[in-house]
Amino acid sequence: MWPLSSAVSPRLVEAPFTGSTNADLAAALRAGEHWPHLGVLLTRDQRSGRGRLDRGWVAPAGSSLAISVAIDAARIPALRRGWIPLVAGTAMAGAAGEQLGGVGVKWPNDLLVGGRKLCGILAEVATADRIVVGSGINTRMTAEQLPIESATSFEVLGVEVDEDRLLASYLTRLGPLLEKLAHGSVRDEVGEACITLGQRVTAHLPGGDALTGTATGLAEDGRLEIDGTPIGAGDIVHLRPAV
């Protein structure tokens, strides 16, 4: 079913349906179940998914692919672990771009095509040295099924996605990026994929404040710099279309 992906991942399990692949994989890791680095739990029918800030994420069965990957973070210094969702987004943008083209990372955890959301990324700590990175990517979702006007899918874009190729390419890119993160900086790789950089943006911050300016760069720990001021969390609105 997943020959290309199984050749890359040391363990790949497809659930017929589940509430949340991230929650299931994190619980398995906490219970001591063996999930090696780049082990994958996935489903085409996720019924209680979550996005960033604990927002709900639900899609009709068969319309999207929910992928959760076990990450061995033991060798990644704690100060660099904030890059993990950005690394995952960079890897998925490259993988999706093989079939779509024009896929970019919106800081900190969305993939956009033509300014519309194709995929969301959510990284969660499972144990002291294991992190789960979840991706929810709209594969066969029709225009009528899109949850918000600013979303899109392979189907809407007129592309019949090869899911096995997508997943295998994602994992093939993710592994080396995580290895590089363990030993040094991935700023160049992430910066190249991040379409937020150079944009004029408004960051809606957790405390209710907002900061408007130009996204000028990425700090050493992965925070977004807006006119030189680093922010670690916030909802980012691009004030002009991504190019």
What does the alpha-carbon distance between residue 227 and residue 234 come to, in Å, rounded to a whole number?
15
**Side-chain-facing half-sphere of 198: CA atoms under 13 Å:** 9
Q: What are the residues facing 50 on neighbouring strands?
A: 56
pLDDT of the residue at 60? 87
pLDDT of residue 207: 86
Rounded distance between C-alpha atoms, residue 83 and residue 169, angstroms:
20
Q: Mind listing the domains of the chain with CATH numbers?
A: 3-193 (3.30.930.10), 200-238 (no CATH)
Other beta carbons within 10 angstroms of residue 143's beta carbon come to 10
Q: Is the separation of the CB atoms in 69 and 91 below 8 Å? A: no
**pLDDT at residue 55 in the model:** 55
- pLDDT attached to residue 148: 85
Cβ-contact 85, 121 below 8 angstroms: yes
pLDDT for res 51: 55
- 108 prior amide bond cis, ω within 30: yes
> In this structure, which amino acid lies at residue 107?
W
| DSSP secondary structure letter of residue 195 | T
Average pLDDT, consecutive stretches of 10 residues, N- to C-terminus, the chain (243 residues): 97 96 97 97 86 61 95 95 97 97 94 95 95 97 90 97 98 98 97 97 92 96 95 89 51
Q: What pLDDT is recorded for position 178?
A: 98
Instruction: State residue 11's pLDDT score.
Output: 98
What's the longest Cα–Cα distance across the chain? 48
pLDDT at 147: 84
Measure Cα distances from 137 to 46, 54, 141, 191 in Å. 11, 17, 10, 21
pLDDT of residue 54: 54
Closest CA to 147 of 46, 2, 243, 6: 46
- Cα 91 to Cα 44, 127, 133, 135, 169: the distances in Å are 20, 23, 12, 11, 8
Task: Look at residue 233 in the predicted model and tell me its pLDDT.
Answer: 87
